[in-house]
Every structure is written in C-alpha cells, then in structure tokens.
C-alpha cells in the first residue's frame, strides 16, 4: 500500500511545470510564473518525461513545441490538474466559512416539536448550508455513517460524545384517551398496569423498552404488555389518541394532545424525570465551520436550555449520584394486560 501511494504521488511531480511550459511554450516564462529558475523547470520536465517514458516537448534554440505524446498527455492532464485545484479550493473554502451539507440524525418525534423551528431560523441565518435530516429511532455511528451530529435523549448518548443541551429535563408521562378510560378504570398504582393495554416501544437494538416509574424516590422498571408494539414514539402516541391503549411518552411530545383533551394523564405522581434532549457530536479538535455555526445557533436561541457544550458523561455522573440516594432499583414483571 505504501509503495502504491508513492507511485501515485510521484506521478504528479513536475505536472505543474509541464502545464506551464505547454501554456507559454517557454521554459523561461514558465519559470517566471512559478517563481523558480529555468533550470529547475527543465529538470522537473525531464524527470516527468522519464517517468512517462516519452518525450513531451520538442526543444529548439528558438521555440518549444509539444510532441504527439505531449499533446495527448496535455489533453488528459490539464483538465485533471484543474479539477484537483478546484477540489482543493472547495475543501479550503468549506474549512473557512459555514457552507456545505450538514447531516443530522434525529428521532422522528423530535422533528416537529423541536427541530422544525430551529432549522427554519438556522437556514435563514446560513443560506449556504444545506441541512439534511435523517429521522430515525436507530442509534447510528456518526463517523461511520457520515453524520456531523445527532440529537437524542441524554441517557441514550455514548459517554465519549460532546453534548449540548437542547431542552430542560422533562417527565415521562403515562397517557390514554378519554374513549379508552370510558372503558377501563384509570390506573392509580403501578401494579394496576397489569389490567391495562399498554403500548410498547421496540428499541433499535431489538429490545422492548421497559416503562420507568418513580415510587417515592424508588426507581421502578416495568415490563408491560398490550396489543401494539412500534419502533417510534409518534406511532405509539397516535395509537393512544385513537384509544388502542395507554402509552408512556415524553411529556413535551404529548403536550399538544393533552392540552386539546385528546389524551388524559394518569399515574402522575409516579412520573420519572428524563435528562432531556441533547445535540451530540464526536470530540474534534478541528470542528467544521458548518457544525460550529449550528451549535452557536442552538446556544443563541432565546429559549436555549443550555449555553455550553459538555461531555454527556458529566450528565450521567450527576444522574448516578442522584440515583445512589434512592433504593435499589426494582423490576416488576406485569403480564396479562389486554
């Protein structure tokens, strides 16, 4: 591999000198253009001809012309060299100013309630940045999949990521429609969930998400059952609104349906608090201007929940200290809910 790279790199040596001589039909003018001596240009061209295996110029005391091999070499080398220069300029330009495509991976549920207003103002402020949003519940490797950043719940973000808070902590609420509760009594204790149709979320790793509750400071994880399993929160929320069953969802996502009376909250005193939503990205010493612009835009929002970037591990450590003061986590397996 190393030898192959050396060959490719050597093939470019002397190319700029050749193109300059071919343009001016003069070694002296080419030397002046490139800021070197004529002998340096002559030597670079000779070495290039040796590597190519053919004479590229016809030299006389009065003129310089191209051989047939030189003409063919010029016809292929000139556009290729110009494309390399253009590529370098594009890369250099993107390294200096906010421009290009910014790729974000986000959960679909977050797009309408958080990302749409943020993206609207960002696109207006930075018209040279093209935002691409991949709305998916799947947890992806940002670097491997070519994403600049992601947005997720704090507890789902890897510990080595840098995170910027987008929302304050919020509750996970259990909700159901008025039509559903017209048929069933409202649950008053976590154990009552065994008698209810609970809508479940399947995580990207294939596991069914447990319901999390808080009983007087004691964290509880409950394995519920019910008629519907979905891989995203909007589907779960929509099914709850239609009366299929009850669901546990982030309170901001259910806020509109709760305010409109389409959903009713239950087990409110058992609702746990989630860390909130974060923008996260790999730690980089040289951050691209487009990502820096987006992070600065997030921080500058009037309703910005957090003004600085922090390692998500810091949030986890604080959460761990709070949990240490609670009783040992209890897992209840409730079955038979229909």
Give per-residue pLDDT as tens, 270-297.
Answer: 999 988 888 888 876 567 888 889 988 8
Tokens of 16: 């700029």
> Same fold for the domain at 100-168+275-307 and the one at 170-274+326-333?
yes
Q: Given a cut of 60, is residue 333 above it in pLDDT?
A: no
- The pLDDT assigned to 170 comes to 92
Task: Look up the pTM and report it.
Answer: 0.59
CB 154 within 8 A of CB 276: yes
- The pLDDT assigned to 320 comes to 42
CA atoms within 13 A on the CB side of 320: 6
Grouping H, G, I as helix, E, B as strand and the rest as coil, residue 57 is: strand
| CATH code for the structural domain at 2-94 | 1.10.10.10
Say which residues have a Cβ less than 8 Å from residue 232's Cβ, sequence separation at least 6.
107, 108, 109, 137, 201
- The pLDDT assigned to 52 comes to 85
- The pLDDT assigned to 85 comes to 73
Q: How confident is the model at residue 96 (pLDDT cuts 50, 70, 90)?
A: low
pLDDT in tens, 9-37: 455 678 888 898 988 899 989 899 888 99
- The pLDDT assigned to 117 comes to 78
Say which residues have a Cβ less than 8 Å from residue 152's Cβ, sequence separation at least 6.
106, 107, 139, 277, 278, 280
| CATH code for the structural domain at 100-168+275-307 | 3.40.190.10
Q: Given a cut of 60, is residue 236 above it in pLDDT?
A: yes
What average pLDDT is seen over the chain? 81
For the chain, state the CA radius of gyration: 31
Nearest-angstrom CA–CA distance, 23 and 114 = 56
Q: Given a cut of 50, is residue 145 above it in pLDDT?
A: yes
Q: Given a cut of 80, is residue 212 above it in pLDDT?
A: yes
pLDDT in tens, 153-202: 887 787 778 888 888 899 999 999 999 999 999 999 999 999 999 999 99
- The pLDDT assigned to 313 comes to 40
Q: Given a cut of 60, is residue 204 above it in pLDDT?
A: yes
pLDDT in tens, 50-61: 888 889 988 877
CB 193 within 8 A of CB 222: yes
For the chain, the structural domain boundaries read 2-94, 100-168+275-307, 170-274+326-333
Nearest-angstrom CA–CA distance, 134 and 103 = 8
Q: Which CATH class for the 170-274+326-333 domain?
A: alpha beta
What residues pair up with 163 in beta bridges, in sequence order?
280, 310
Buried/exposed 131-167: b ≥16 CB within 10 Å, e otherwise: bebebebebeebeeeebbbbbbbbebbeeebbbbbbb
């Amino acid at each position: 591999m190393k030898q192959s790279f050396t060959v490719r790199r050597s093939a470019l040596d002397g190319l700029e000198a050749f193109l300059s001589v071919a343009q001016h039909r003069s070694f002296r003018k080419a030397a002046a253009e490139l800021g070197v001596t004529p002998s340096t240009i002559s030597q670079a061209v000779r070495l290039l001809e040796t590597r190519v295996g053919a004479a590229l110029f016809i030299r006389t005391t009065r003129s310089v012309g191209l051989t047939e091999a030189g003409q063919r070499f010029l016809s292929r080398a000139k556009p290729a060299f110009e494309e390399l220069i253009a590529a370098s300029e594009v890369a250099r330009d993107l390294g200096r100013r906010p421009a290009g495509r910014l790729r974000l991976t986000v959960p679909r549920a977050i797009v309408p309630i958080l990302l749409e207003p943020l993206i609207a103002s960002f696109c207006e402020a930075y018209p040279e940045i093209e935002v691409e949003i991949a709305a998916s519940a799947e947890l992806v490797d940002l670097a491997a999949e070519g994403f600049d950043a992601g947005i997720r719940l704090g507890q789902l973000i890897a510990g080595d990521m840098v995170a910027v808070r987008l929302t304050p902590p919020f509750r996970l609420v259990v909700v159901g429609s008025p039509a559903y509760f017209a048929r069933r009594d409202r649950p008053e204790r976590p154990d009552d969930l065994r008698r209810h149709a609970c809508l479940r979320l399947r995580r990207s790793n294939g596991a069914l998400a447990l319901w999390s509750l808080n009983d007087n400071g004691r964290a509880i994880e409950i394995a519920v059952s019910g008629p519907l399993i979905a891989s995203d929160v909007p589907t779960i929320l929509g099914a709850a609104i239609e009366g299929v069953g009850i669901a546990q969802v982030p309170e901001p996502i259910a806020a509109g349906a709760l305010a409109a009376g389409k959903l009713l909250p239950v087990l409110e005193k058992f609702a746990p608090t989630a860390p909130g939503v974060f923008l996260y990205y790999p730690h980089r010493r040289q951050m691209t201007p487009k990502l820096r612009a987006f992070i600065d835009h997030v921080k500058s929002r009037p309703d910005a929940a957090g003004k600085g970037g922090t390692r998500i591990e810091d949030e986890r450590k604080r959460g761990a200290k709070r949990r240490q003061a609670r009783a040992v986590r209890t897992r209840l397996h409730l079955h038979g809910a229909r």
